[in-house]
Structure 1
Amino acid sequence: MSKPNGDILFLIFKELKHNSKFLFSCLMVNRLWCETVIPVLWRDPWNYTINYRNKDSLYSIITSYLSNDIKEFLTKSGIKISSQSLAFDYLSFCKSIDVKTIDNIISVGSSPSEYNQFLLQEEIYNFLLKKCSEIKRLNIRGTYEIVYLPESRISLKSLCELTCDTSIDPKYYYRISHICQQIQRIIINNNNLEANHGVTKLIEFQKNLKYFKWIDDFNDDDYMELLEDPYEEIFNMLEKHANTLNHLEIILQFDYGYPTDYYNIYDIYDYTFVQYLLLKLHNLKIIEINSPIFLNNDDFNEKLKMVTYRDLEILEIDYIDICQITYLIKNSFYLRELRIYDFNWDYDRFINDSLNFIKIICENCFLIEYLSIPVFPLLESHFIEFGKLLKKCQKLRSLQFKEAYYEEENELEYGERLLNALVKDASTNLREIGFSYDIEFSLKSLEIFFEKWKGRPAVSIYLYNSYVYKKSDLYKKLFSKYKMEGVIKQINI
């Protein structure tokens, strides 16, 4: 068998760039593999899981690049400098700078003196910007003001991805905004209780923004009382990028308190900016939102009915009303993942709303692979539509039933009916099923289900009503038997 050449190996290694264990092992195969994998590893060397404080290899490599004059100057200042010769020009492959990680690496040789660390930072960042002439990825979650170095205007001009936080002085962002205007991915850790106007300018100046991620990261336990709206100005600016933005990820820090009343949180702070932002971003492919429950008001719902997300592929929301999620996906013909962790509903409308939800999935989302679905009523109409959904959605791999309509005193009948529908109509692609705690199964119905499931790929079962199944040895023996026979891949109780 012929050996793969370097070009083919390089393409393979690029596809596996996040698998550090595999890439590091390739260094030891032979010289060709080593020479081919080095450019992949060093494109973003700060992105691997390494304790840089305990491993000084990167420190040695970086300081080896410094000129002899600078090495001599730093050595006289008490800073440990490497004099090793390098087998490769490692930094010529580098396209990223991670300030926090590099500062950790620098601390290997400059600790404990703060002044020595400053000297080493200044020399290394100057050198990095000269050596890495085209930086694509920058993480500035640190203290060193790298963007003020003269070389930054050239090196950062082609920046594609920026990770930052809102505690940085706005002037820092004003500088970046004038240098970098082709950033496609912005990831912001919000640790500021007030709006950072520099971040707003940064977003405004971009010409091809595609990916935006916002993560709240407040350390103060009383942050809710101190919050002064760090959101609205920044999130309103995202509307300017409605034509290019295709990935929106928002993780807000909030606490419903006790006793829980999900809507009362709006008495403390108004989070509706998330809802109304969604109405503007019609080209989104990925939506991931962890925020307080969407207000179920008539104005928003009527506007949501009119919005179409034709390119939507992944939708992940922590908690949302079933009618609102139905509006969001009603024309999403390319939807592959619908991950809802909790459904809210109106008891008076739930029979109609749940039936409509199932119909919308069946009619429009036939490419769905991962589906969260509320437990629907024990009604013939719902089970007929659910059967149609299973037949239509042949790519479905994971099906998760979430708490919703509770069939009190009918749990076992409901469970048996559900298992019959699954074994009768589900495609052979279905590999994972999760049942909420309000669905129960008799020993007999589970045994019939597993017998009929034979011949299909093994299925993983998640049973969240763990008490029912853990208390009986008969259930344990049943699960063990069908796991040994290859019907069950894994059972999580």
Structure 2
Amino acid sequence: MVNRLWCKIAIPILWREPWNYAIDYCNKDSLYSIITSYLSNDIKEFFTKKGIRISNQPLVFDYLSFCRSINVIIIDKIISIESSSEYNRFLLQEEIYSILLKKCSEIKCLNIRGTYELVYLPEARFRLESLCELTCDTSIDSKYCYIISRICQQIQRINIFNNNFKVNHGTAKLIEFQKNLKYFKWKDEFNYDYYTPYLERLEDPYDEIFDILKKHANTLNHFEIVLQFDYPTNCHSDYRDIYNKYDYTFLQYTLLELHNLKILKINTPIFLNNNDFNKKLEMVAYRNLEIFETDFIDIYQATCIIKNSFYLRELRIHEYYVDHDEFNDDSLDFIRTICENCFLIEYLSIPTFPLLEDYCIEFEKLLKKCQKLRSLYFKDSYHYEEGNELEFGEYLLNVLVKETSKYLREFGITCDFEFSLKALETFFEKWKGRPAVLMYLENSYIYKDDSYKRLVSKYIIEGVIKYISIY
């Protein structure tokens, strides 16, 4: 009775999105058997004569009736288990996608990267109306996007993988037609080896898409973008100017409009530090921002983005651009802005700073104010003179154990500071009674010196250190 009851509860949950698990679908014979069991007898006989194994096993549950998603990449992998023939796989795809659209009462998530023909099936019009999430790429023929745009206008999450150097007007129209778009992710996935000979005919795939996104500013709360801006190392020098012609200002000026964002993740070339953009950025307030992550940004621009973000929980900046003429004012203002506005912060990465009184006062205020802080990382921005690295390291250990909240679990330093053996031992002794700490350090001397190795091993055994990693 317990097993039967468990199955009745678990099966509908597991089969809601059966294509999203971290398993090797190419070896999942059980899924292949379940899916092909739904084929009609005459279709089963047709494929059996072609030498394709089709399951005749009766099903305990109507599995596909619980399904709310279709992922053609995964389903195609499952279909390929019993057929190496491209034509036979095509025939199986046609039958199985038709069954999926008939059996799934409503489809919430659709991934059509690779196979788009299912949108032409008669059942698509009725089953895809309820679609909430769509994943596709820019190599899709525009006509498929036009069909989806006509059927689905309540999509809330769109993931687009850009693998086409030419403009795809269909994907732009697909975005434009949505009435409640909340989540948008764009990721470049160019095949440079294939496209390099055609670079002279390169089109700009960005401007149209990102101009349309501005129209969704009132609803869009998640914006994630990965731009593949590097040219290949073997690229001919004549082509490099073509790759480098994009200045990515389209992205900056789109962000000025997206005032309702909760999550902002950007992996792009450096934000251009121009006066016009900076002045406009000063006027924008991201009041709902909770997570901000970017690879590279000017400290002043980062300050402008977070200055009104009272709900900010994660600030993940992997590298700060430093204008050395303005460094002191900008970096101090950045620390002060976090202290005054971001007291809910849990994950924080900040630039290293000089050991001057103003900086130390503001940094210690920040630690006292941000009592939910769990992770703290220092990014290499300010370069100490040789011989002074030990001074900052010892100051940092002392202030961390004195001022940080009880929730702090990890800290990291991506710069070449040093810690004396005595300072480390004092830190570990004072850390006792708190949660075990994770340390990420950019210095190998700790593992080269036997004294440091013995010290670290001792406090790992005692449960003071959970994990220590040396870059």
Q: Which TM bucket (shorter chain)?
A: over 0.9
1:10-409 to structure 2, matched below 5 A, reads: 30-109=3-82, 111-221=83-193, 225=199, 227-255=202-230, 267-408=244-385, 409=387
Identity %: 72
Identify if the C-alpha distance between structure 1 residues 265 and 476 changes in structure 2 by more than 3 Å, giving closer, same or farther.
farther
Structure 1 window deviating more from structure 2 (385-394 vs 33-42): it is 33-42
Q: Which residue type is aligned with residue 395 of structure 2?
A: R
Tell me how far apart the structure 2 counterparts of residues 395 and 406 of structure 1 sit (CA, whole Å): 29
Q: Structure 2 regions of 5+ residues with no counterpart?
A: 234-240
Correspondence for 1:420: 398
Correspondence for 1:21: none
- 1:492 matched to 2:469: yes
Correspondence for 2:237: none
Q: Which residue type is aligned with residue 45 of structure 1?
A: P
Post-superposition CA distance 1:101-158 (Å, at most 9, x none): 111212223x232222222222111111111131111000113410011110000000
Tell me how far apart the structure 2 counterparts of residues 100 and 256 of structure 1 sit (CA, whole Å): 28
Q: Measure how far apart 1:69 and its partner are.
A: 2.4
SS at match of 1:102: helix
Tell whether the 8 Å contact from 1:256 to 1:265 is kept in structure 2 after alignment: no
Tell me how far apart the structure 1 counterparts of residues 362 and 25 of structure 2 sit (CA, whole Å): 56
Tell me how far apart the structure 2 counterparts of residues 115 and 265 of structure 1 sit (CA, whole Å): 40
Tell whether the 8 Å contact from 1:406 to 1:438 is kept in structure 2 after alignment: no
Post-superposition CA distance 1:10-62 (Å, at most 9, x none): xxxxxxxxxxxxxxxxxxx7222122110011111111123232221111111
Identify if the C-alpha distance between structure 1 residues 233 and 355 changes in structure 2 by more than 3 Å, giving closer, same or farther.
same
Q: For this pair of structures, how many residues does the alignment match?
A: 459
SS at match of 1:47: coil
Q: Structure 1 regions of 5+ residues with no counterpart?
A: 1-5, 7-28, 259-263
Tell me how far apart the structure 1 counterparts of residues 462 and 344 of structure 2 sit (CA, whole Å): 31
Q: Measure how far apart 1:394 and its partner are.
A: 0.2
Identify if the C-alpha distance between structure 1 residues 171 and 433 changes in structure 2 by more than 3 Å, giving closer, same or farther.
same
Q: Which residue type is aligned with residue 241 of structure 1?
A: H
Give 2:411's match in structure 1, choosing from 426, 433, 440. Answer: 433
Q: Which residue type is aligned with residue 237 of structure 1?
A: I
SS at match of 1:30: helix
Q: Which residue type is aligned with residue 422 of structure 1?
A: L
- 1:447 matched to 2:425: yes
SS at match of 2:296: strand
Q: Which residue type is aligned with residue 163 of structure 1?
A: T
Structure 1 window deviating more from structure 2 (239-248 vs 435-444): it is 435-444
Q: Which residue type is aligned with residue 205 of structure 1?
A: F
SS at match of 1:214: strand
Tell me how far apart the structure 2 counterparts of residues 151 and 238 of structure 1 sit (CA, whole Å): 30
Identify if the C-alpha distance between structure 1 residues 53 and 436 changes in structure 2 by more than 3 Å, giving closer, same or farther.
closer
Name the TM-score, length of structure 2 as normaliser.
0.94
* CA root-mean-square deviation: 1.8
Tell me how far apart the structure 2 counterparts of residues 154 and 248 of structure 1 sit (CA, whole Å): 29
Structure 1 window deviating more from structure 2 (216-225 vs 417-426): it is 216-225
Correspondence for 1:10: none
SS at match of 1:108: coil
Tell whether the 8 Å contact from 1:133 to 1:154 is kept in structure 2 after alignment: no
Structure 1 window deviating more from structure 2 (348-357 vs 361-370): it is 348-357
Q: Measure how far apart 1:223 and its partner are.
A: 5.2
Q: Which residue type is aligned with residue 328 of structure 2?
A: I
SS at match of 1:435: strand
Name the TM-score, length of structure 1 as normaliser.
0.90
Post-superposition CA distance 1:341-387 (Å, at most 9, x none): 00011111111111101100000000000000100111011001100
Identify if the C-alpha distance between structure 1 residues 125 and 222 changes in structure 2 by more than 3 Å, giving closer, same or farther.
closer
Tell me how far apart the structure 2 counterparts of residues 54 and 256 of structure 1 sit (CA, whole Å): 37
Post-superposition CA distance 1:270-309 (Å, at most 9, x none): 2111111110100000000000010010001111110000
Q: Measure how far apart 1:98 and its partner are.
A: 0.8
Tell whether the 8 Å contact from 2:318 to 2:379 is kept in structure 1 after alignment: yes
Tell me how far apart the structure 2 counterparts of residues 223 and 489 of structure 1 sit (CA, whole Å): 47
Correspondence for 1:411: 389
Structure 1 window deviating more from structure 2 (415-424 vs 282-291): it is 415-424
SS at match of 2:192: coil
Correspondence for 1:9: none
